[in-house]
Structure 1
Amino acid sequence: MSALSGIRVVDVTNNQAGPSCGQMLAWLGADVIKVEEPGKGDPARTTHKDRPDADSLFYLSFNGNKRSLTINLKNPRGKDVFRRLLTTADVLLENFGPGVIDRLGFGYPALKQLNPRLVYASIKGFGSHGPYSDYKSYEPIAQAMGGAMSVTGYPDSPPTYVWPSIGDSGTGMHCVIGILAALMQRHATGEGQQVEVSMQDAVVNLCRVSLRDHQRLGKPPERAGNQLGTAVPGKTYRCHPGGPNDYVFIFTQQQMWHPFLRAMGREDLIGDARYEAGDARWRNRDEVNAMVEAWTMERSKHEVMKILAGAGVPCGACLDTGEVLSDPHLHAREMIVEVQHPVRGRYITAGNPVKLSASPTKISAAPLLGQHRREILNELGYGQTEIDALESEGTV
């Protein structure tokens, strides 16, 4: 039995923010039914497609462990099928553009009457109310409007986009939290509720430290590149052999300074007034950083990390994406896993970062378009003749 066994989620989202939320719920054991347009499906199926006979790796990355049902939501009979599905659902997850789902006839007031226990979860660019509620959003828009870009980059560079998807997948994980809370509250009240997460809100929540700094300093924080505050060492340092990702990030607090010097073989500097205190190292940071980098450049990033980790000094090798996919620690933790796909065969993907001792996750492939159509319609009480008719008329 999995943590969310018995919970049915109807997922009508596409691209990344919504699908990442649905995938996490599926990994936790929910029955997530991905509803897609017949013949087309989630646009992510063709985004950056690397082979003509299979869904894209982008689609596979955010739709594992789900089942697929195709329904034409603009067709009256399709709407009937969708309503019947929703009467069996615990959660509806949607990320349509502003006003779209209401025009289809599936806004929250209508579905609350249909299924009072339904948790109705919406992911929007800017939410359903407020001055920007009619605006559309994508990942970089959310980062720009949430303040993340303004604090990312170097002092002489423009505001910089962050490639990890804090606006899309970050919003999806916030929505998971809201859905789980609403399901818990339903135990007490017997009723569902509406859950809404905006991409801008989610990015702002992840920028709390920068917002704190604005209030502390009385002005927007300046972009500082890889420098972490005034810690020295507290940035990236080049390593041997000097490739584009041959770097480590070293962060040394005051109590770590002596162990750090010993790890470098520079015990002679212990007690040196030029470097002993944090403010002194900051004043002399160019000297300290040059000394540190002269040492790191003689070693690979993995050697540096191992030496400093053994001394209790926080240090991380800057892994490129290939190194992440082959990292033995991530494989040992089943964070990088191999999955069998019916068309593509075996492929590598990221696993579930949430580890539950009594509910382990087994990652399965994202579904083919409409792969579970007949199976799910049978569960809803449709007979074979009815299903044949629905298919022939393009309803499902």
Structure 2
Amino acid sequence: MDMVAQAAAGAFSITGEADGPPMMPGPTTGDSGTGVQTAMAILAAYIQRQRTGIGQEIEISMQEAMVYYVRTRAFIGSAWGTRATGRNGNAGGLPPVNIYACKPFGPNDYIYLMPVTQGHWDELCAAMDRGDLLIDSRFDTNQGRAQNGAALYQEISDWTAERTKYEAMETIAGAGVPCSACLDTGELHHDKHLTSRGFVHEMELPVHGKVPMLGFAPRMSESSVDMTQPPRLGQHTDELLAAELNLSEDTLSKLRDDGVIGDPARFS
């Protein structure tokens, strides 16, 4: 029900192109995002029980959990109680925040730039070696950049079009401007940041050999979460039935011959 919750929370209405219909968001925040908030509630309830000795029931609405994630478009300042403006595609609402095409102009050859302060704008111009933009009357203030967004987009696009998204990111991020290459899901498997930190790694499994895995995102200074092999399908069937139901090996063998339980050897 992930996407149902996102639709009910308004996430579809603020996703997509400005002149298009509501669009299904890519991330599955309905399930995972609600789960994260549930985990926080469990921890809070546990701490409360430690203090008072009283447990409590936890209930969470997926719609309410998702509304929390659209708060910056729907419930901040003057936006409170009003309908959020239409979908704005890739623009962030304040030029030059946007995505820009890079060579070789494949489906995901783009960089996302988020220069939201005057300092970021100064750093972006320096990174592009475009000091002239700093004194251009069209772009020397936030208001001017907003009013001349199309012209500004073209100026930056001309620069990014001469570079790959990785080259552009290295230069612009190196200057202190928040940005990222738009990675596709295939590139995540080889991303330098994810692999160097061990988040994307390989695990040796008995049957399948090396299998790519994702690690645990939170890092804690005094404890770590080690990734271990998952149990194979049916690996503990005999052990559990013998321990919990006191079934003998002969009984288990007959159940297996009759097709009541599976044969672990088939899956190993």
Q: TM-score, normalised by structure 1?
A: 0.59
Question: Aligned pair 1:202/2:65, yes or no?
Answer: yes
Gap change, CA 1:376 and 1:265, over 3 Å in 2: same
- Structure 1 CA distance, aligned partners of 2:237 and 2:47? 30
Question: Aligned pair 1:159/2:159, yes or no?
Answer: no
Gap change, CA 1:197 and 1:373, over 3 Å in 2: farther
Question: Aligned pair 1:233/2:233, yes or no?
Answer: no
- Structure 2 CA distance, aligned partners of 1:197 and 1:176? 11
The aligned counterpart of 1:143 is 6
Deviation at 1:202, TM superposition (A): 1.6
The aligned counterpart of 2:148 is 284
- Structure 2 CA distance, aligned partners of 1:174 and 1:218? 26
Deviation at 1:335, TM superposition (A): 1.4
For the 8 Å contact 2:45–2:55, the answer to whether it is kept is yes
- Structure 2 CA distance, aligned partners of 1:337 and 1:322? 14
For the 8 Å contact 1:340–1:364, the answer to whether it is kept is no
Gap change, CA 1:211 and 1:388, over 3 Å in 2: farther
- Percent of residue pairs identical: 39
The aligned counterpart of 1:360 is 224
- 1:188-226 superposed Cα distances (whole Å, 9 cap, x missing partner): 344433222232222111111122257348333211111
The aligned counterpart of 2:33 is 170
Question: Aligned pair 1:259/2:120, yes or no?
Answer: no
Instruction: Tell me the secondary structure at the aligned position of residue 305 of structure 1.
Output: helix
- Structure 1 CA distance, aligned partners of 2:4 and 2:250? 44
For the 8 Å contact 2:101–2:161, the answer to whether it is kept is yes
Question: Aligned pair 1:273/2:137, yes or no?
Answer: yes
For the 8 Å contact 1:340–1:346, the answer to whether it is kept is yes
Deviation at 1:161, TM superposition (A): 0.7
Instruction: Tell me the secondary structure at the aligned position of residue 196 of structure 1.
Output: coil
The aligned counterpart of 1:320 is 184
Gap change, CA 1:192 and 1:372, over 3 Å in 2: farther
- Structure 1 CA distance, aligned partners of 2:236 and 2:40? 28
Deviation at 1:180, TM superposition (A): 1.8
Q: What is the alpha-carbon root mean square deviation over aligned residues?
A: 2.6
Letter in 2 for 1:203: M
1:298 corresponds, among 129, 141, 162, to: 162
Instruction: Tell me the secondary structure at the aligned position of residue 347 of structure 1.
Output: strand
- Structure 2 CA distance, aligned partners of 1:228 and 1:322? 25
- Structure 2 CA distance, aligned partners of 1:174 and 1:346? 33
The aligned counterpart of 1:337 is 201
Deviation at 1:361, TM superposition (A): 1.6
The structure with more strand, counted as a fraction of residues: 1
For the 8 Å contact 2:241–2:247, the answer to whether it is kept is no
What does 1:30-69 correspond to in 2, within 5 Å? none
Letter in 2 for 1:316: S
- Structure 2 CA distance, aligned partners of 1:187 and 1:377? 36
Gap change, CA 1:373 and 1:188, over 3 Å in 2: farther
Question: Aligned pair 1:187/2:50, yes or no?
Answer: yes
Instruction: Tell me the secondary structure at the aligned position of residue 105 of structure 2.
Output: coil
- Structure 1 CA distance, aligned partners of 2:25 and 2:235? 35
Deviation at 1:356, TM superposition (A): 1.3
Deviation at 1:179, TM superposition (A): 1.9
Gap change, CA 1:191 and 1:345, over 3 Å in 2: farther
Letter in 2 for 1:211: A
Instruction: Tell me the secondary structure at the aligned position of residue 202 of structure 1.
Output: helix
Question: Aligned pair 1:242/2:141, yes or no?
Answer: no
The aligned counterpart of 1:218 is 82
- Structure 2 CA distance, aligned partners of 1:325 and 1:362? 19
- Structure 2 CA distance, aligned partners of 1:215 and 1:261? 32
Q: Which has the higher contact order (CA 8 A, sep 6+)?
A: 1
The aligned counterpart of 1:66 is none
Letter in 1 for 2:33: G
Letter in 2 for 1:293: S
Q: TM-score, normalised by structure 2?
A: 0.85
State how many pairs are aligned. 256
- Structure 2 CA distance, aligned partners of 1:141 and 1:243? 32
Structure 2 unmatched ranges of 5 or more: 263-268
Deviation at 1:353, TM superposition (A): 0.6
Deviation at 1:260, TM superposition (A): 1.2
The structure with more helix, counted as a fraction of residues: 2
Gap change, CA 1:259 and 1:215, over 3 Å in 2: closer
- Structure 1 CA distance, aligned partners of 2:176 and 2:238? 57
Structure 1 unmatched ranges of 5 or more: 1-137
Gap change, CA 1:221 and 1:358, over 3 Å in 2: same
